[in-house]
Structure 1
């Protein structure tokens, strides 16, 4: 099967910039301070950073390995390319992103998409480990007032009035094939304007009633904080986005104990719990503290740190 790679020269340039711009990582607390045996990365949003910290903590707790944390690398294509290039050896990702975005294939049910994810990444020398227990799907959100004014419950409802409304979304959302371009085609949705912006700006504008519609993740803490309404994807456009660790096989061949450690997170995180952890960071807590507290509360750390 021919596979289309969604890895542009621009993404490669951005990767170089992102890696050079990161704070020089050091061995994490409790790792013994020796040289790193592996590098874990993350994308540039709260949830992915929290999950990366969890994975690093578990590896350091269950093994004698030292983990370098090179987090907040950038968007999906940047982090994916870093993994393929062996600049990082693992990071958290999502099944729908892997299948629909990186390999540009159709997705199916959650189970089918997990299976296809594993088949596809295996061809690139990677392994997708046990899903963590939640799916963080894309969504479209509106304020309570906008939902009431236009009687909005579904994406089809939104499409009928989209010409009068402005959409704000992360830059990645505006051009990925599994996001706005496909959504627009399926629902015949044409907004008055579509503005790319950072996540923090997007939610601030929503809170100030300066933006009509926002892209969102179903686990976003800001959805709950700002009392936003997630509309129903009534035609089922967005694929399942089950979260899990994607890891280089050469690392797992050398250190199979990493697989055992990370698979202990399998099925442990609900969508509600992930949203709660994201909200804690929005309130000012550090991602690494939120991650570690979850592991401690769930009895997943053995070593006394």
Structure 2
């Protein structure tokens, strides 16, 4: 079994430079042929936050257990970077969040249910890219506030922010400012204009700390983050369906698909639950390694 974990550093940045340039020119689906000679190894990529890196590690270890040659390029960056990397052949497989991927590929997508989002995402994928069976596990975006803020302003839904948004600083990842399922959607769908937006990280410690310490009053955090309960934070109800279903789904270069690959990844999706993600994210927060947490989960479901 060939299995090796690496990080996405300078060499990988050079590999994806042409793809990033294509995206910057305005076409997120523009693909540039990659100078890659290895056609057998499946390179598994991930976004730049721990849950994505963990899921990529689970995929890689599950495939390696079936004798498939795999390599990983973790912590690549945001969707604006890793989708071009998938398209230019720098990576072959990654864990995606169905609703966010759909919104990226189709700016006018209106699907919200898991079934509709999966169907629309399959149709929106560029030639040469496939999705496998989505998991029931979801990691959904949320607009979160502290319990003290929720009680002071009687906040239960995102819409309840309307009278006070102009007094609030909203925090989230830099990309969230320009995304439909972010600041743009909060304005277009809910009519919310915040006092300012503070660019932090992808639902990580910077965003959490800023919210808990009062530097921001609302934040983009995620449903599988154990810090939500640990810090008594409130996810405001999304009554107008700004955030589509975010089922986790393997996205793969079609040429790398085989019966064994599909069966292996679909078995991972079938076993994975939202509760599993909460527990595993909690272990990562306690500084356990991706390797150990992924290996334990695979052993739990006899997938290794």
| TM-score normalised by L of structure 1 | 0.84
State which of 162, 165, 170 in structure 1 corresponds to 2:165. Answer: 162
Cα distance between partner residues in 1 of 2:27 and 2:52: 19
Equivalence for 2:115: 111
Equivalence for 1:7: 23
Equivalence for 1:78: 81
CA deviation profile, 1:253-294 (whole Å, cap 9, x unmatched) = xx4311111111123222222122112111211122111111
Equivalence for 1:146: 149
Cα distance between partner residues in 1 of 2:284 and 2:157: 29
State which of 242, 250, 264 in structure 1 corresponds to 2:247. Answer: 242
CA-CA distance at 1:208 after TM superposition: 2.1
Q: What is the number of residues matched between the two proteins?
A: 272
1:222-237 to 2 correspondence within 5 Å?
222-237=227-242
Cα distance between partner residues in 2 of 1:104 and 1:44: 22
Cα distance between partner residues in 2 of 1:87 and 1:221: 32
Q: Does the aligned pair in 2 maintain the 1:101–1:178 contact within 8 Å?
A: no
Q: Structure 2: where are the runs of 5+ without partners?
A: 1-21, 29-38
1:21-170 to 2 correspondence within 5 Å?
37-62=41-66, 64-108=67-111, 109-121=113-125, 123-170=126-173
Which stretch shifts more, 147-156 or 96-105?
A: 96-105
Indicate how the Cα distance of structure 1 residues 298 and 99 shifts in structure 2: closer, same or farther if over 3 A, else same: same
Cα distance between partner residues in 2 of 1:145 and 1:81: 42
Cα distance between partner residues in 2 of 1:129 and 1:111: 13
Aligned partner of residue 43 in structure 1, secondary structure: coil
Cα distance between partner residues in 1 of 2:41 and 2:109: 36
Equivalence for 1:277: 280
CA-CA distance at 1:105 after TM superposition: 3.2
Cα distance between partner residues in 1 of 2:97 and 2:78: 13
Equivalence for 1:28: none
Aligned partner of residue 244 in structure 1, secondary structure: strand
Indicate how the Cα distance of structure 1 residues 189 and 268 shifts in structure 2: closer, same or farther if over 3 A, else same: same
CA-CA distance at 1:36 after TM superposition: 7.1
Cα distance between partner residues in 2 of 1:72 and 1:193: 28
Equivalence for 1:22: none
| TM-score normalised by L of structure 2 | 0.84
Q: Structure 1: where are the runs of 5+ without partners?
A: 1-5, 13-34
CA deviation profile, 1:123-180 (whole Å, cap 9, x unmatched) = 4211111112212221100011111111110011112211111111111111112321
Which stretch shifts more, 182-191 or 139-148?
A: 182-191
The CA RMSD measured in Å over matched residues stands at 2.2
Aligned partner of residue 267 in structure 1, secondary structure: helix
